[in-house]
Amino acid sequence: MLEVKNLRKEYGGLTAVQGVSFNLHPGDIFGFIGSNGAGKTTTIRMISTLLEPTSGTALLNGADIRRDPMEVRRMLGYMPDFFGLYDDVKVWEYLDFFAAIYQVPTKKRAEVIDNVLELTDLTVKKQAFVQSLSRGMQQRLCLARCLVHDPTLLLLDEPASGLDPRARAELKELIAELGRMGKIVIVSSHILPELADFCNTVGIIERGTLLACGPVDRIVKEMQPNRKLKVSLIRDGSEATLAIRDMPFVLGAQESGENEISVDYTGDHEAQADLLADLIKRNFRVITIQEDFADLEDVFMKLTTGAVN
Amino acid sequence: MLGAATAWLRENRAVYLDNGTSQRDYRVQLRGNKSIILFAIYLIILIGTASLVYSNIQVGSGYYGGTYSPYGTFGARRMSIVEAQQTLKAFYTTIMMLLAGVVSIIAPALTATTVVTERQRRSFDLIFSAPVTPKYFLVGKMMSSFRYTWMLLILALPVTAVCVVLGGASWSDVLISYLLLSVQGLIMTSIALLLSTIATKAVGAVVWSYAASIAYLYCSSILSFVFAFRGIMGGGGANSEQPFYVALSPFAVQQAAGTYTTIAGHHVPNWFLAILFAGLVSKLCLLGAATLLSPRPAKEIRSLRIHALVVAPLFLFYGMWSAGSSMGSAGMVVPTSAHGYGGRVLFSVMLGLFIIVPFLSCFGVDGERRYWPNGVFSPKHMLNGTPAGGLPFLLSFILINAAAIFGGLWINDRSSFDSSAGMWVVYTLGFWWFFWSIGRLASSAFAGLKSARTMQFAAFLLIVVLPIPFLSVFFDWISASSDEASGWDLYILHPLFMGKTAADSALVWGVILSALALLLTLVAQIQTRRKMQLLEERYVRNNPTA
């Protein structure tokens, strides 16, 4: 379990991260969302023990990042937003080097390397030179490097940046698989659709302050407590808008386009079916009526102002 | 207790026997045909040069045993046994000089790029997010570079074996010479590793490493040859009791091989003391590099400063004591007064601080690591690397070293010791406090740590080095060392060159520099406060809720 407690980082007069707190459990895939300069990387670097917090701390399975950084490092895998690859070594040698520095016993290294290569689908490239790999493969190799010591926590800083759609999809699947394996995964990104698919928890950070944190559904629900319906008609949009406003469970209705109505609605699906039946009964020619779900992007845009430190 | 010992053993096993960094570098170094070709070329050059030297000895004509021989060859018995042995010893000396050249060229070149390329590759974050200490990483880098140097020495073994077979040297000579060459290679590797950590570009690292190696070779060779020459003058070259630093020059390994130092009535071989010295220098260099590499350097800074406060005075004490006593025994002129000699030695040795003072005085933004002012003078911060501890550490370092130097001289000659020593101490303290305050002033003017350090370094060059050519044009150099008034009186290092009134001049300069330092410190402090206020205002403006 990861407990982040009031983590704060100040640089003289500038506060890069101010009192960030959250808890994560095994299997959680935490999407850390924020604009460039919001404080994501600083927070991740503090958790990875590469940066000393000004105050606050984080505990990984009881080990404190301030008091016992070496113990924390044994349990985490950190992938920064750059490769940092050694291009003059072979894939297995690269992994062997990291297995050595993570103090994986010499006898077990070959087996561990084979396992992580299989997991990241790089077995065929075991003898290839790192420099000969494609960008997507290099990113997967970086992830394989993070896994050689079987960490509890994975910190992935902008893992999909610069990858093509296929490589991005493969990486997403890999991260989801790691979550299923019971690892805590923190993925930072400012590309929201990238995170929405596989994160079960998110944190939105701006100017060093965590604005929202929790399961994706809950955050979305908190930001949009009422349902939003979108009604499309062939004609008579204005009349239909007036009619809808008087119907039960409707908080408000307005035309959002030509013959398109946006409805703030509190009723359930049964009531929604009645609303449709009522419109048809009144001879409105309805094409579709569908719920307009809010997504992470909407939540992010609503919460943040775009300011950076 | 047992748990701590086990952890220590486990850590050291990982660092020295199962070092991933070293293994990775080793694989890369020996990959492909490159290394084989390089080794082949190296051997061809070595054997070729040795053959040339040997054939020159064999066929060269000249005077042998007082008789001119047009043939020259000792194979044809035109040379006496003694002459032949001397000639073969010269051959052995040439081979060892050649190997010294190899070590001096290869060790800095191999090491200089090792850390800086990791920085350029941005792989430090990957390494230091693993349970790895800077020690593990740096020892690995050192082992991989040093191993390559050692491989070159081992490859030369057949050539040195020829010297043994021909009678120019014994196996023990070869063994001790190899040991000394290794020790000197280790020192140059450590220095290059430190400079590789400081440098931001590979070319800069190589240039600085070579400059440092040349400086090391220059100083160690001067020391070695001065004492070798002194031995010849004093006892016809047979004097084996010499200070250990004769064993520090790679170009004098065979002269130093048989020398010893008497400690508490025991003859301690100088190669053994050289190993100890190399170990301490390596440790200091590694600690210096570790403070720059570590994401949380407090522990390394503390260790480095404690080592510096202990090791430097120890060596200076030994140096002063051994120089005084051995000079006397060799019939050389012993310094007539402690203040005339020790004061100059103190100031000259402390001049090396120009590399360290920017790290003690400057603060500001350095990439992600930020050093913020936490006061001007706080002895409790002396060992933790924060700006408030810089000045107390600097002054303590100078005072402890002054005590070591004058203590070493005092043991040899108690009569010539007087209060003038204190004047030199005031001068040295004032000089470095002045440069420390320039660093503070530069830090209060610039946001970047690097800019402040560069400014301070530039100020040092401007004040210490630049006046020399200008003053030389207008004033005779001889007037610099006389007690008569001249333009040289305005030169900051003038007391070093003066004669009888040097100590008085040192005191005057010390007081002037201390006053200037006080003024600059006050200005820097006011400017720093203003700067911090501006930062605070910006912080409040950016964070209205704070």
Asked if A84 and B365 come within 8 Å (Cβ–Cβ), the reply is no
pLDDT over 90 (residue A299):
no
pTM: 0.83
Task: Please give the average per-residue pLDDT across A123-140, as a whole number.
Answer: 91
pLDDT of res. B331 = 47
Q: What is the 3-state secondary structure (H, E, C) of A65-90?
A: CCCCHHHHHHCEEEECCCCCCCCCCE
Quick: pLDDT tens for B13-33: 889 988 999 999 888 888 878
Contact by Cβ (8 Å): B106, B213: no
pLDDT of res. B535 = 64
List the end-to-end C-alpha distance of chain A, in Å, as a whole number.
Answer: 30
Task: Please give the average per-residue pLDDT across B382-406, as a whole number.
Answer: 92
Task: Please give the average per-residue pLDDT across A131-156, as a whole number.
Answer: 92
* Domains identified in chain A and CATH numbers: 2-215 (3.40.50.300), 225-291 (3.30.70.100)
Quick: pLDDT tens for B304-363: 999 999 999 998 888 887 766 555 554 444 455 555 678 888 898 898 898 889 989 988
Write the burial class of residue B6 (CB in 10 Å: 0-12 exposed, 13-18 middle, 19+ buried): exposed
Asked if B23 and A73 come within 8 Å (Cβ–Cβ), the reply is no
DSSP B246-303: GGG-GGGHHHHTT-EEEETTEEEEHHHHHHHHHHHHHHHHHHHHHHHH-SSTHHHHHH
- Distance, in Å, from the CA atom of B246 to the CA atom of B277, rounded to the nearest integer, reads 12
Contact by Cβ (8 Å): A130, A146: no
How many Å lie between the alpha carbon of B191 and the closest alpha carbon of chain A? 25
Say what angle helices B114-121 and B202-235 make with each other, to 10 degrees: 170
Asked if B131 and A51 come within 8 Å (Cβ–Cβ), the reply is no
For an interface test with A, give the residue of B12, B24, B34 to mutate (most A CBs within 10 A). Answer: B24
Nearest CA in chain B to A94: B24
In chain A, which residues touch B (CB < 8 A)?
11-15, 18, 45, 48-52, 69-71, 73-74, 76, 78, 80, 82, 84-86, 88-89, 93, 96-103, 106, 145, 149, 207, 307, 309
Contact by Cβ (8 Å): A307, A206: yes
Contact by Cβ (8 Å): B108, B188: yes
pLDDT of res. B67 = 53
Confirm whether the ipTM is greater than 0.90. Answer: no
For an interface test with B, give the residue of A103, A139, A158 to mutate (most B CBs within 10 A). Answer: A103
Nearest CB to B130: which of A88, A101, A106?
A101
Quick check: B129 contacting A, CB < 8 Å? yes
Task: Give residue B242's region: left, alpha or beta (phi > 0; psi -120 to 50).
Answer: beta
Q: Which amino acid is at B497?
A: F
Asked if A85 and B121 come within 8 Å (Cβ–Cβ), the reply is yes
Asked if A69 and B296 come within 8 Å (Cβ–Cβ), the reply is yes
Contact by Cβ (8 Å): B451, B533: no
pLDDT of res. B447 = 75
Asked if A100 and B370 come within 8 Å (Cβ–Cβ), the reply is no
pLDDT of res. B413 = 72
Q: To the nearest whole percent, how much of chain B has pLDDT over 70?
A: 84
Asked if B14 and A93 come within 8 Å (Cβ–Cβ), the reply is no
Asked if B123 and A207 come within 8 Å (Cβ–Cβ), the reply is no
pLDDT of res. B345 = 86
Quick check: B538 contacting A, CB < 8 Å? yes
Quick: pLDDT tens for A204-226: 898 888 988 888 888 877 777 78
pLDDT band, residue B483 (cuts 50/70/90)? low
Could you count the other beta carbons within 10 Å of the beta carbon of residue B319? 19
Nearest CA in chain A to B14: A103
Asked if A15 and B296 come within 8 Å (Cβ–Cβ), the reply is no
Task: Please give the average per-residue pLDDT across A59-80, as a whole number.
Answer: 94
Quick check: B297 contacting A, CB < 8 Å? no
> Where along chain B do its domains lie?
1-295, 332-546
Asked if A101 and B20 come within 8 Å (Cβ–Cβ), the reply is yes
- Distance, in Å, from the CA atom of A54 to the CA atom of A7, rounded to the nearest integer, reads 8
Asked if B546 and A18 come within 8 Å (Cβ–Cβ), the reply is yes
